[in-house]
C-alpha cells in the first residue's frame, strides 16, 4: 500500500499555521517535529511546490504568508469534534485512487476501527468514476476523498447509502456556494446541468451482511477550467461562481453532512433520505431521460424513487420498471 503523508509534515504545517504571525526559527521547527534542519528545508521546498506560500528569513527561520489550501489532518480534524466520520484522516499528496486505499484498509481491519476513516488526496493519478471511467483529479484543485463506513445493514441497503451520500454532498455544496444544485440519479451532482460532484460506492459484503462500504466522493472545487473533452459536461465551484474556496472547509462541511445523514439513515431508515433526495432532484419525477443499462438503451420518463432507492420509470412503450443500476441522461 502507498505510504501516507508523513505525520511530521502535518506537524510542520500545524506549527506554521499556529504561529502564522511570527517567524519560526528552523531549529525550533526541527526540534518540535523531530527531524533535522535539512529535512525541514526539504519539506518546506515540497510545500512551496504545492503552492504553499512560506517566506524564508535568512538566519532566522520561516513564516507562513497565508493559510495553506491543503487537506492535511491538522486542518480538517480540529473542525469535526467527536464525530465518527472523520475521526481519522489519512492524507496523501499524490496517489492512484483513494477508493483503492480505502478498500484495502477496510479489508485489513477486521474490527470496526476503520469505520469513519477518511482517505483524502491532493492529486489522483488513477481516480475512478462509475463504469470504469476516469475521474479527472487536477492537483490541489478538488476534493478527492473516500469514506469507510460499516453500517449494520444488508447489501440491499447499498442504493440508499449512495443516495444518502448524494444528499449530504448536496447540502455541503449548496451551503458553501448558495447555488442551486441538482442531483441526477443515482449519484451525480450538477450545477447548471454540468457535473460538479460524483460518488462511487464500493462494498465488501456477504449475502446478508455489509462488512464495509467505501463512499468515494469527488468534488471539483477550484479548477479554473476543465479539459476540452469535459468542458461541455463538467464544471467546478470556481467556474460557476468566480470564487476560490478553502478546500479544507468544503471537506469539513461534507464530512459533517455525511455524519448527520448517515445517522439519520441508521436511526430512521430510508424514508427521510428518499424524501430529501426527491425534494432536491429534478430527475425524481417527470423527467424525460435516456437510460443506458445492461439490457440496452431506451427512452423513458421518471416516476419517482421506490423505498429501496430504485428509480421507477415508464418506457415510451408504456412499460414500467425499476432501475437499480444504469445511467440516465436528460432528453431535451
pLDDT in tens, the chain (332 residues): 678 999 999 999 999 999 988 999 999 999 999 999 999 999 999 899 888 899 998 888 999 998 888 999 999 998 999 999 999 999 999 999 999 999 999 988 766 668 999 999 999 887 766 555 666 778 889 999 999 999 988 888 888 999 999 999 999 999 999 999 999 999 899 999 999 999 999 988 777 788 899 999 999 999 999 888 888 899 999 999 999 999 999 999 999 999 999 999 999 999 999 999 999 999 999 999 999 987 789 999 999 999 999 999 999 999 999 998 889 999 98
Can you give the three-state secondary structure of 213-261, one letter per residue? EEEEEEEECCCCCCCCCCCCCECCHHHHHCCCCCHHHHHHHHHHHHHHH
The model scores a pTM over 0.85? yes
The HSE-up count of residue 135 (CA atoms within 13 Å, CB side) is 31
Residue recorded with cell 449530504: 168
pLDDT of res. 135: 66
Distance from C-alpha of 322 to C-alpha of 310, rounded to nearest angstrom? 6
Q: How far apart are CA 10 and CA 33, in angstroms?
A: 9
Helix (H) or strand (E) holding 325: none
What's residue 230's pLDDT?
A: 85
What count of other Cβ atoms lies within 10 Å of the Cβ of residue 34? 10
d(CA 69, CA 218): 17
User: Among candidates 91, 80, 85, 118, which has minimal Cα distance to 13?
Assistant: 91
Domains of the chain: 7-64 (1.10.10.10), 73-280 (3.30.930.10), 285-330 (2.30.30.100)
The beta strands (E) that lie in 101-177 are given as 117-121, 142-149
Burial 49-83 (b: 16+ CB within 10 A, else e): eeebebeeeeeebbbbeeebbbbbbbbbbeebeeb
Which helix (H) or strand (E) segment holds residue 33: the answer is helix 26-33
The pLDDT value given to residue 153: 87
Residue in the block written with cell 417527470: 286
pLDDT given at position 277: 97
Which pLDDT belongs to residue 132? 57
Amino acid at each position: 500500500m502507498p505510504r501516507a503523508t508523513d505525520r511530521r509534515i502535518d506537524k510542520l504545517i500545524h506549527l506554521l499555521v499556529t504561529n502564522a504571525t511570527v517567524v519560526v526559527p528552523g531549529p525550533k521547527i526541527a526540534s518540535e517535529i523531530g527531524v533535522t534542519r535539512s529535512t525541514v528545508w526539504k519539506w518546506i521546498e515540497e510545500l512551496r511546490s504545492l503552492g504553499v506560500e512560506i517566506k524564508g528569513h535568512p538566519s532566522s527561520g520561516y513564516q507562513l504568508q497565508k493559510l495553506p489550501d491543503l487537506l492535511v489532518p491538522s486542518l480538517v480534524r480540529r473542525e469535526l469534534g467527536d464525530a465518527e466520520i472523520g475521526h481519522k484522516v489519512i492524507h496523501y499528496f499524490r496517489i492512484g485512487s483513494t477508493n483503492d486505499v480505502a478498500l484495502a484498509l477496510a479489508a485489513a481491519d477486521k474490527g470496526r476501527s476503520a469505520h469513519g476513516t477518511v482517505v483524502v488526496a491532493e492529486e489522483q493519478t488513477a481516480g475512478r468514476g462509475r463504469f470504469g471511467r476516469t475521474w479527472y483529479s487536477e492537483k490541489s484543485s478538488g476534493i478527492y476523498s473516500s469514506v469507510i463506513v460499516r453500517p449494520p445493514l444488508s447489501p440491499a441497503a447499498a442504493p440508499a447509502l449512495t443516495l444518502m451520500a448524494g444528499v449530504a454532498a448536496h447540502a455541503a455544496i449548496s451551503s458553501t456556494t448558495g447555488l442551486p444544485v441538482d442531483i441526477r440519479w443515482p449519484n451525480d451532482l450538477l450545477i447548471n446541468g454540468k457535473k460538479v460532484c460524483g460518488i462511487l460506492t464500493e462494498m465488501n459484503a456477504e449475502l446478508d451482511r455489509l462488512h464495509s462500504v467505501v463512499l468515494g466522493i469527488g468534488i471539483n472545487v477550484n479548477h479554473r477550467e476543465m479539459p476540452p473533452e469535459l468542458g461541455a459536461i463538467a464544471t467546478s465551484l470556481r467556474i460557476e461562481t468566480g470564487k476560490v474556496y478553502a478546500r479544507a472547509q468544503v471537506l469539513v462541511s461534507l464530512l459533517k453532512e455525511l455524519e448527520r445523514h448517515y445517522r439519520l439513515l441508521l436511526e430512521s431508515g430510508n424514508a427521510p433520505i428518499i424524501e430529501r433526495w426527491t425534494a432536491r432532484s429534478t430527475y425524481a419525477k417527470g423527467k424525460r431521460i435516456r437510460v443506458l443499462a445492461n439490457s440496452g438503451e431506451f427512452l423513458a420518463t421518471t416516476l419517482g424513487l421506490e423505498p429501496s432507492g430504485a428509480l421507477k420509470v415508464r418506457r415510451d412503450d408504456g412499460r414500467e420498471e425499476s432501475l437499480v443500476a444504469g445511467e440516465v441522461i436528460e432528453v431535451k
